[in-house]
Every structure is written in C-alpha cells, then in structure tokens.
C-alpha cells in the first residue's frame, strides 16, 4: 500500500533548517549522533503530531541529511504520512517488544 504525504505545517526546508541548527550544536560539542525521545522535540524536528505511548526515538546523525524515526510498527503509516521524512527513515519495531521487561523496541 502506498502511503502519501499529508499536509505539512512547514515546508521540508524548514525542518532541514531546524535539523541544521541541531547538527551545528552537535558538531560544536563533538557529538556524532543524538537520540531524541522527547515527543515535543520529535514533533519540532519532523512535524509528526502522532502521540504514542510506547517507546519512540529520533536518531539525528551528522552524516545523514534526514534523521531516523524509530516507532512501534503500527505507528509507521501515520508517521510516514505526517512527517517530511522519506519512507526509509521511519523504522517500525514489532509488537513482540511491547510490554516486555527483558527487551524493548530498541534492541
């Protein structure tokens, strides 16, 4: 099934500008990768408005133009639809990891 992009609050260039500011600070502090788990910050950097109650993270790398969004597999279509991110940058983990004390979606 093809998932189209929904209306974005800002153009792609605005999200890339925001990421560029984050990456500039990362470079200044000599941080190669940043893991963002705060949902308001993920929304600010990607445009995703989906509220999730399971583990989620945005990985920002100095080497990649776009960050990678890691969410529960069932949330992937909504995240693709709502964000400026390319489909390959939204990764879903299995429900097998949800509610387990010994493993999680980032394993």
| Residue ranges of domains in the chain, CATH in brackets | 32-95 (3.40.350.10)
pLDDT at 49: 85
pLDDT at 42: 95
* Strand (E) or helix (H) holding 34: strand 33-36
Joined together, the tokens standing for residue 48 give 């995703």
Give the integer Cα–Cα distance in Å for 49 and 75.
11
Question: 34 with 6: CB under 8 angstroms?
Answer: no
pLDDT at 9: 86
Maximum CA extent, the chain: 42
Say whether 80 sits in a helix, a strand or coil. helix
- pLDDT mean for each 10 residues of the chain (107 residues): 78 97 98 95 91 82 96 91 94 77 63
Enter the pTM of the model. Answer: 0.86
* Strand (E) or helix (H) holding 44: helix 39-46
């Amino acid at each position: 099934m093809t998932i189209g992009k929904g209306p974005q609050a800002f153009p792609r260039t605005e999200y890339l500008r925001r990421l560029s500011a984050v990456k500039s600070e990362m470079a200044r502090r000599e941080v190669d990768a940043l893991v963002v788990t705060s949902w308001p910050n993920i929304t600010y950097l990607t445009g995703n408005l989906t509220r999730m109650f399971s583990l989620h993270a945005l990985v920002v790398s100095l080497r990649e133009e776009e960050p990678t969004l890691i969410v529960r597999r069932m949330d992937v279509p909504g995240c693709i639809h709502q964000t400026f991110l390319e489909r390959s940058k939204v990764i879903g983990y299995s429900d097998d990891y949800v509610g387990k004390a010994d493993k999680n979606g980032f394993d």
